[in-house]
Amino acid sequence: MTASLIALMFVAAFLSGAVNAIAGGGTFLTFGVLTLAGVPPISANATSSIVQFPGYVTSTLAYFRDLSKIWKEALVLGLISVVGSTGGALYLVWLSDNTFKSMVPWLLLAATTVFAAGPWLKPRNSGERHAVNPLGIITQSVTSFYGGFFGAGMGIMMLASLGIATGGDYHRLNALKNFLAIIIAAVAIVVFSAAGAVAWYHAAVMVPGCALGGYAGVAVAKRVPQSVLRWIVIAAGLGLSIYYFVTG
């Protein structure tokens, strides 16, 4: 790789971490730059999961006290997420690169649509809690399968599914979402690594950038309106969708 490409990957990872800390949607950036670097689609998706992982961990640590109060729900939904993400990750590595490449523009377009609809999908801050219900188990299973398979826009989907599964205020749901994102990403990473699908050199370049971006994102959040960042992510998602429709 050239020095300019390495710099571009690092910057994209940094911006991805910052965007995830503020509005979500950083996967669009990491997946896009990895394919631009010549990484095959399945490997780019697998490597993107590795790059995003540090941000999930730090976000969960910030919510540790909230999670300690809802450990039973976290345990139940965590087990469901292990099963779902395992299925999604195994399905991805079972596909050929050509098959997955033909699916990418549709996946990106769907993820961009979900991300754009995020403000309407987020559960209301009602504070009403309830035990995990069958419909919530189904929705979280589907969301975790998608997270293991592709992952872009997973956070918005999971907030909606957790609102159905357990209810509660936004911060409680966000704490659960961050915890379950760790589980989904960790399972996917194990499957992808065992299948030899990870571009480790590219990951080594991008992981520090994503971690730094996640830390810096907190400061940026105080200065840049989230609506501006949301439109940047939406534009990136639409641009990538068009690119893969044209090339693929």
Can you give the pLDDT at residue 159?
76
Q: What is the pTM of this model?
A: 0.79
Can you give the pLDDT at residue 178?
81
Mean pLDDT taken over the chain: 81
Burial class (CB in 10 A: 0-12, 13-18, 19+), 62: middle
Q: How confident is the model at residue 248 (pLDDT cuts 50, 70, 90)?
A: low
Residues in the chain: 248
Report residue 201 CA to chain centroid gap.
Answer: 21
Residue range 51-62, pLDDT digits in tens? 888 877 877 777
Task: Give percent of the chain above pLDDT 90.
Answer: 19
Residue range 225-246, pLDDT digits in tens? 667 766 777 787 788 788 778 8
Can you give the pLDDT at residue 118?
61
Residue range 153-201, pLDDT digits in tens? 777 778 777 777 776 666 677 778 888 888 998 999 999 999 999 999 9
DSSP collapsed to 3 states, 68-116: HCCHHHHHHHHHHHHHHHHHHHHHHHHCCHHHHHHHHHHHHHHHHHHHH
Does the pLDDT of residue 130 top 90, yes or no? no
CA dist 184 and 179 (Å) reads 9
